Structure 1
Amino acid sequence: MKIALLGYGKMGKVIERIALERGHEIVLRKGQSDTFEGLAQADVAIDFSVPTAAVSNISTCLNQNIPVVSGTTGWLEQYDDMISLCEAKNGTFLYGSNFSLGVNLFFELNEYLAKMMARFADVYKVSMEEIHHTQKLDSPSGTAISLAKGIMQNSTYDAWTEGQAQESQIHIDAKRIENVPGTHSVFYKSEVDFIEIKHVAHNREGFALGSVLAAEWIQGKKGVFTMKDVLNLK
Structure 2
Amino acid sequence: MTTTSSAHLAGPSSPGRLPDTNGRHGASDDAEYTFWREHTTIALQPVAAPSILGLFGFAVSTFMVAANLAGWFGNDTSTPLVLFPFAFAFGGIAQLLAAMWSYRARDGLATGIHGAWGSFWIGYGIYTLLVGLNVVPGTATSPDAKVAFGFWFIGLAAVTWTGFVAALAENIATSLVLLTLAAGSTLLAIGMTAALPVLVTIGAIVLVASAVLAWYTASAMVLAGSTGRNVLPMGQRGAPAMPGTSPRRPIEYAAGQPGVKIGQ
Higher relative strand content: 1
TM-score (norm 2): 0.23
Higher relative helix content: 2
TM-score (norm 1): 0.26
